[in-house]
Amino acid sequence: MQKHQYEVVVVGAGGAGLTAALYASRSASTAVISKLYPTRSHTGAAQGGIGAALGNTEEDHPEWHAFDTVKGSDYLGDQDAIDFMAAEAVDAVYELEHMGLPFSRNPDGTIAQRPFGGHTNNDTGLPVRRACYAADRTGHMILQTLYQQSIKNKVKFFDEFYVLDLLIKDGKTAGVVAMELANGEMHIFQAKTVIIATGGHGRVWETTSNAYSYTGDGLALTLRKGIPAEDMEFYQFHPTGIYRMGILITEGVRGEGGVLINGEGDRFMETYAPTVKDLASRDVISRAMYLEMKAGRGINGKGFINLDVTPEVVNHYAEIDGRKNPDGSPYRVTASDILSKLPDIIDFCETYIGVNPVSEPMPVQPTAHYAMGGIPTNKYGEVVIDEKNTVLPGMYAAGEVACVSVHGANRLGTNALLDLIVFGKYSGIKAAEYANSEPYVDLPPNPEAYAMEQLNAIQESSGKENMITLASEMKSVMSEHVGVFRVEEGMAQAVDKVREIKERFKDVRVDDHGKKYNMNLIEAWELSNLIDIAEVTAVSALARKESRGAHSRDDFPDRDDEKWLKHTLAWMENGGVRLGYKPVTMTKYKPKARSY
């Protein structure tokens, strides 16, 4: 067993982790531990853009961005944190540009921006160009740029190390336990601060845009240490995943003028969101798609809708909508515009489904995409562990794994990348400040004991249960009952089923008993993370008797601010889940009916 000592340990090397490390390493000894090589992180799969009110081609203001985010969150977002994020957004984007990020450009040389769902001119209610983009590879460019700067700044990486436990002693952060995948060796990292930046958990569901690696690792670690998870019932289903595969088709397609068309050839979003139509927020569109399909208006009556970005269709609807370019001329596109703005989307469609989006529509369905909920933090990334927002000293979380909450009940497109940069930055700065003023906490005796106990339990199980079977039963019940639409009975069934799977997991079969790159063992561990998270999600969802944002119940179809304008907190305790609630932070935005 090896021992290491760093003032700041960052767990995860995507957009949030790398940003945190870049800032923390300026004034504190910092190490990044990641189960993947950093550039494999899921940030790289983000496509459409990062939101910031630069106003490069039309009027825009951070205040408008903040209001749109509050409204998008269905008023569950904490308004102090949202104001902060929207105000920080502009500098965050300039900072990325100064790091060399190759944004697409306007003719005047400024950063190019496109419209995105839910982002509006607050005077007219119409879509505003706020998403700063690099073709449809914005996440890739962010991830590469941050990694490049990490190399330049000599950030210390432990690549392909898998964190198995958080060390907390006397209520303070003491470090982490990790396994080196290459040889199975255990490492103890003593740390003054730990920044958890491990991303989301879309692999709980069947059809997802998320990587295999998105298994909620950091969130499961905190749950097992008695830290609650916040707002887990709010999980985003992105409207446009490739049919059956779930691969993301960016909202940028609709930003460029693409429209959703049902089996009767209708652009149905006109009915559901008369003002912004196909650029309504994601929860609204995913629900509309399900309703269309349920009414038999899927394409050929099947479980998909067409997303059409062929120039004829784009131009047809642009004319109907009276859409204009920034200079006031009518908005029209050509095939080569589509090619240059959406090259990866075209590549994915050609590779996986043999469809060329320049000449044919894309078959799409909602796909499990993003966790609004996660580890509770304040706007500085400090982890808070109860109804009173008590800080756990030295523990930070940022990015998708965290719940600040800036996304509330529904995240707007482009706000995820922004969240990574803004809260990655502040958690890095705050962690380094803390490290500069506080001593190391002594490690607990046998720091690796809890991790080893869990590993041994998996290795020594009876082996009766196949991992794939357990995973697929979990995904199936979660997709059916804790998906876009929910009812009491179904969610109760999901809770029972997930608990049964959790019990059966104790007999999970692992074939590989070696040390070296034992990916079989890691996958079993990842599945145990997903099962815990599925349980917490289903229990949190079952309890919330209203519809808000992504949590949509047939049996409680309305938002109920009187009873439910509050955050859920869920603790894993005594083999079950205990729920609590805390108030939403309000500043100047009073809840009102939400329409697009």
Partner 1 sequence: MQVTLKIFRYNPEDDRKKHYDTFTLEAEPTDRVLDLLERIKGNQDGTLAFRRACAHGVCGSDAVRINGVNRLACKVLVQDLKTRQVVIEPILGLPVEKDLIVDMEPFFDHYRSVMPYFVNDDPPPPKERLQSPEERERFDDTTKCILCAACTTSCPSFWVNGSYVGPCAIVNAHRFIFDSRDQAAAERLEILNEQFGVYRCHTIFNCTDACPRDIQVTQAIGEIKKALAKGSLD
Give one word for 455, left, alpha or beta, with left for phi > 0 and alpha for psi -120 to 50.
alpha
- Is 517 a binding residue for partner 1 by CB under 8 A? The answer is yes
Question: Of 133-141, 251-259, 425-433, 536-544, which part binds partner 1 (CB under 8 A)?
Answer: 133-141
Identity of the residue, 54 or 259, whose beta carbon is nearer to partner 1 in the bound complex = 54
- 282 as an active site residue: the answer is yes
Separation in Å, CA 572 to CA 132, 219, 221, 453, 470: 39, 11, 11, 18, 21
Residue owning tokens 């562990």: 385
Residue 90: CB minimum distance to partner 1, A: 9
Residue 95: CB minimum distance to partner 1, A: 8
Identity of the residue, 63 or 344, whose beta carbon is nearer to partner 1 in the bound complex = 344
Tokens of 80: 């102090």
Amino acid letter, 495: V
Q: Looking at 137, 203, 254, 282, which residue is catalytic?
A: 282
The alpha-helical segments, DSSP class H, found in 268-414 are: 269-272, 282-294, 311-321, 335-341, 343-353
- Is 109 a binding residue for partner 1 by CB under 8 A? The answer is yes
Of residues 79, 149, 377, 568, which one binds partner 1 by CB under 8 A? 149
- Is 510 a binding residue for partner 1 by CB under 8 A? The answer is yes
Of residues 39, 122, 454, 461, which one binds partner 1 by CB under 8 A? 39
Alpha-carbon gap, residue 384 to 386, rounded angstroms: 6
Of residues 102, 171, 265, 580, which one binds partner 1 by CB under 8 A? 102
Alpha-carbon gap, residue 19 to 13, rounded angstroms: 9
Tokens of 425: 């930055």
Separation in Å, CA 431 to CA 24, 441, 570: 7, 15, 25
Residue owning tokens 């109920």: 560
- Angle at Cα 568 formed by Cα 562 and Cα 574, nearest 5°? 135
Residue 201: CB minimum distance to partner 1, A: 14
The alpha-helical segments, DSSP class H, found in 213-266 are: 217-224, 252-255
Residue 55: CB minimum distance to partner 1, A: 11
- Is 512 a binding residue for partner 1 by CB under 8 A? The answer is yes
Question: Of 32-40, 285-293, 300-308, 584-592, which part binds partner 1 (CB under 8 A)?
Answer: 32-40
Identity of the residue, 25 or 552, whose beta carbon is nearer to partner 1 in the bound complex = 25
User: Per CB under 8 A, which of residues 559..578 are in contact with partner 1?
Assistant: none
Of residues 264, 347, 488, 558, which one binds partner 1 by CB under 8 A? 347
User: Which residues face 131 on adjacent strands?
Assistant: 51, 114
Tokens of 591: 């809840």
Separation in Å, CA 536 to CA 201, 247, 429, 573: 12, 26, 31, 11
- Is 449 a binding residue for partner 1 by CB under 8 A? The answer is no
Residue 99: CB minimum distance to partner 1, A: 6
Q: Could you give the residue numbers annotated as active site? A: 282
Residues forming the site for partner 1 (CB under 8 A):
36-37, 39-42, 44-45, 54, 93-94, 97-100, 102-111, 134, 137, 140-141, 144-145, 148-149, 151-152, 182, 211-213, 245, 247, 344, 347-348, 351-353, 466-468, 509-512, 514-520
